[in-house]
Structure 1
Amino acid sequence: MAKPKVFISSTFYDLRHIRIDLERFIRDLGYDTIMNEFGNIPYGKDEHLEHYCYKEIDNADILVSIIGGRYGSESKYDKYSISQMEFKSAYDLNKQVYIFIEKGVYNEYQFYLKNKENPNVNYTFVDNIKIHQFIESIEVLPNNNTIHSFETSNDITTFLKEQWAGLFQRFLKEQTRQKEINIIKGIENTAKTLNQLVTFLTEEKRGSENAINEILLSNHPAMEQIKELLKIPYRVYFTNKEEFYDLIKARGYRINLENFEFDKFEEWTLEKNSKIFKLTIDTDIFNSENKLKIFTKEEWNNDFIKLHIEDIDDDLPF
């Protein structure tokens, strides 16, 4: 099962205890952490080590950026520190970012804003003025830059717990809304079909039977069912068996010659994510010329096309 991946970004030695507490918190939630000290970042031989940190951010879903008083190691690629470059990489990739700044540093940052033109000011909570300059660059970003101060790791974990619970609740709500959107799309398709029929009857087109069949074919229930079963995000359209085969082959399905009845049913299978998907088709939906028969929604039976999903048994006999 896929799990959210959370990249923890900070300087190491001064914030080591915070990183350990965060790793435990994230692991207890059932998520995966990406942290250099736990060997989560695979290093190659062709680039500088920090390059692989930025590359791994592409595999993360969330970046938690923790800013303390230590500037850390300078990047080989830019004028920022490595931890600052990690934030910039995540921001540029449009990852979800959470920014936490030690309370003393953030309070001093307000003093910096009033005195940044004075080169003689000495700062107590940071070892490099570039930290305050970086915070200033974060604050002017147009989005994804909410900052929170903290004193203990509990301040961070409490905030993240509430945020992630809120994201999950929003996801559930959007799933419900998606069902409503699908219903609306179905109504729109039906209305479109009715408009076509009205136009046809009004204009008294020639070849009436063929024209009506074309209208019914464009909204065939077989196309709606295969789109739903295979979770195809675009419009599905086929008029004969060959086009239907091309469609399911494109989704990765292969015919199972060992298990189908030549006179009635065909079985197509797909192995994916430790599961086997079995798609069964009643060939009676096609006529003797292998063209798709016309069905109204009342005439259609969902048993004509069925999908069965099974777990693949990975147990070895030894």
Structure 2
Amino acid sequence: MNDKVKKKMKPRIFISSTFYDLKYIREELMRFIVSKNYEPILFENGNIGYTPNRALDISCYEAMKNSDMAILIIGGKYGSPSTTDNNEFEEYVSVTRKEFRSANESKIPIYTFVDSKVFTEYELYERNINESEAILNIKFNNADNINIFKFINEIKILGLPMFQFLTINDIEHILNEQWADLMKKYLTQLREQKTAETLQDILEKLENTIGGIDNKVTLVSNKLYDGKHDDFDNELTVLTLSNRIKANIRIFENKSYSKEENIKMLFDALIYAFSFISKVKDISSKEFSDIIDNSLKHKNIQFCNLNHDLRRNADLFNAVANNTKLYNDVLSKLMENYDVLV
């Protein structure tokens, strides 16, 4: 496996914080992330691409949007102003705060850590938030700017989790636990997805089996009572194909056409698609879906659900395509089930 492929496999983790006061935290976090065989993204590490003639912080926001995860560290410094979101009528927005907003807008998972001493002072700010003059007169020991508390409050209002820390060890311990839980949830999701797919496959096969038995029982009964021996195979084909279509495809109704026209366009599109499908060996599920989709779109129809079990019926479609009576009989059966198909 070459280095380029290995790099693509690694989660990109953006470290966001003010720089000089939290430089040692950033360095330790970078080593911690590398030890997990992940890729840390830090502007001082040289892995953020900068564009000439643009403010440097803009490249950081773009790098954040291209990351897989963000670690936000809030200490006692608010940081330098963003070049994109500040004017004389707005609250002072720092680069770090803008990085956080970029991550949140891009739905990137964010792990936020707040210096415990700063968080204690935030709680004091929160208790006095309605007393603006009192807040402005308080001299905080661990926060250089009241906007730090507004930043923390913004995160809290969004309902995002925050963790307090005293040392880098606290951060690493929490990340170890959080990432282990994330992996467990992912593995559980994979297992449940596999189970759901297996159950769906079983149900589809069972439905088709029961449908086939019902068809044969109905036709055998008709044969015994009305004596139409020669029509048995044809009626079985009509019932089987119409039931397979009903069980495996749903379409969006085109209101520009009548029900009869919608059904005819659907059936013609399927026949046209299966004339190609029957000639392809080992067709993939995506190729099957694309052929059906393109054929339906040609008739101004779009499917909203398609079960790939339908792909096993190419012979039936081809048989009906060359027999006018069977073709018309299947159309009639599909019309009886119009409300199920749309």
Instruction: Name structure 1 gaps, 5 residues minimum.
Output: 220-236, 252-285, 293-318
Task: Name the CA shift for 1:156/1:70 in 2 (closer, same or farther; >3 Å).
Answer: same
Q: Tell me the amino acid that sits aligned with residue 188 of structure 2.
A: K
Question: In 1, are the aligned partners of 2:114 and 2:163 still within 8 Å (CA)?
Answer: yes
Task: Give the deviation of 1:114 after TM superposition.
Answer: 1.9
Q: Distance in 2 between matches of 1:184 and 1:23?
A: 44
Q: Distance in 2 between matches of 1:9 and 1:245?
A: 52
Question: Does structure 1 residue 126 correspond to structure 2 residue 143?
Answer: yes
Q: Distance in 1 between matches of 2:60 and 2:46?
A: 11
Which of 76, 80, 83 is matched with 2:83 structurally?
76
Which of 90, 114, 125 is matched with 1:101 structurally?
114
Task: Give the deviation of 1:208 after TM superposition.
Answer: 2.6
Which of 174, 194, 199 is matched with 1:159 structurally?
174
Cα deviation digits, residues 38-58 of structure 1 (max 9, x gap): 111101135322111111112
Give TM-score scaled by structure 1 length.
0.67
Cα deviation digits, residues 41-80 of structure 1 (max 9, x gap): 1011353221111111122111000000011110112231
Which of 163, 181, 187 is matched with 2:196 structurally?
181
Task: Give the deviation of 1:218 after TM superposition.
Answer: 6.6
Task: Name the CA shift for 1:14/1:239 in 2 (closer, same or farther; >3 Å).
Answer: same
SS in structure 1 opposite 2:274? coil
SS in structure 2 opposite 1:172? helix
Question: Does structure 1 residue 50 correspond to structure 2 residue 67?
Answer: no
Task: Name the CA shift for 1:115/1:216 in 2 (closer, same or farther; >3 Å).
Answer: closer
Cα deviation digits, residues 228-272 of structure 1 (max 9, x gap): xxxxxxxxx963555665966976xxxxxxxxxxxxxxxxxxxxx
Task: Give the deviation of 1:100 after TM superposition.
Answer: 0.3
SS in structure 2 opposite 1:239? helix
Q: Distance in 1 between matches of 2:67 and 2:18?
A: 19
Q: Distance in 2 between matches of 1:200 and 1:134?
A: 67
Q: Distance in 1 between matches of 2:126 and 2:152?
A: 10
Q: 1:300 — aligned with what?
A: none
Question: Does structure 1 residue 210 correspond to structure 2 residue 206?
Answer: no
Question: In 2, are the aligned partners of 1:69 and 1:105 still within 8 Å (CA)?
Answer: yes
Task: Give the deviation of 1:187 after TM superposition.
Answer: 2.0
Question: In 2, are the aligned partners of 1:197 and 1:215 still within 8 Å (CA)?
Answer: no
Q: 2:274 — aligned with what?
A: 239
Task: Give the deviation of 1:217 after TM superposition.
Answer: 7.5
SS in structure 2 opposite 1:12? coil
Q: Distance in 2 between matches of 1:92 and 1:104?
A: 29
Give TM-score scaled by structure 2 length.
0.62
Question: In 2, are the aligned partners of 1:193 and 1:215 still within 8 Å (CA)?
Answer: no
Q: Distance in 2 between matches of 1:174 and 1:238?
A: 35
SS in structure 2 opposite 1:85? helix
Task: Name the CA shift for 1:30/1:47 in 2 (closer, same or farther; >3 Å).
Answer: same
Q: Distance in 1 between matches of 2:279 and 2:180?
A: 43
Cα deviation digits, residues 210-238 of structure 1 (max 9, x gap): 3366379879xxxxxxxxxxxxxxxxx96
Q: Distance in 2 between matches of 1:91 and 1:178?
A: 27
Question: In 1, are the aligned partners of 2:208 and 2:244 still within 8 Å (CA)?
Answer: no
Question: In 2, are the aligned partners of 1:238 and 1:244 still within 8 Å (CA)?
Answer: no
Alignment of 1:187-226 (within 5 A): 187-197=202-212, 200-201=215-216, 204=219, 207-211=234-238, 214=241
* Alignment size in residue pairs: 238
**Which deviates further from its counterpart, 97-106 or 73-82?**
73-82
SS in structure 1 opposite 2:238? helix
Q: Distance in 1 between matches of 2:235 and 2:167?
A: 77
Task: Give the deviation of 1:122 after TM superposition.
Answer: 1.4
Query: RMSD of the TM alignment (CA)?
Result: 3.2
**Which deviates further from its counterpart, 72-81 or 4-13?**
72-81
Which of 155, 176, 179 is matched with 1:138 structurally?
155
Q: Quick check: which has more Rg, 1 or 2? A: 2
Which of 60, 64, 68 is matched with 2:67 structurally?
60
Q: 2:163 — aligned with what?
A: 148
Instruction: Name structure 2 gaps, 5 residues minimum.
Output: 1-5, 86-91, 223-230, 247-271, 288-313, 320-342
Q: Distance in 2 between matches of 1:74 and 1:110?
A: 24
Cα deviation digits, residues 192-218 of structure 1 (max 9, x gap): 313533553466496234336637987
Q: Distance in 1 between matches of 2:195 and 2:285?
A: 30
Larger RCO (alpha carbons 8 Å, 6+ apart): 2
Which of 128, 137, 144 is matched with 1:115 structurally?
128
Question: In 2, are the aligned partners of 1:43 and 1:52 still within 8 Å (CA)?
Answer: yes
Q: Tell me the amino acid that sits aligned with residue 112 of structure 1.
A: Y
Alignment of 1:233-272 (within 5 A): 239-241=274-276, 245=280
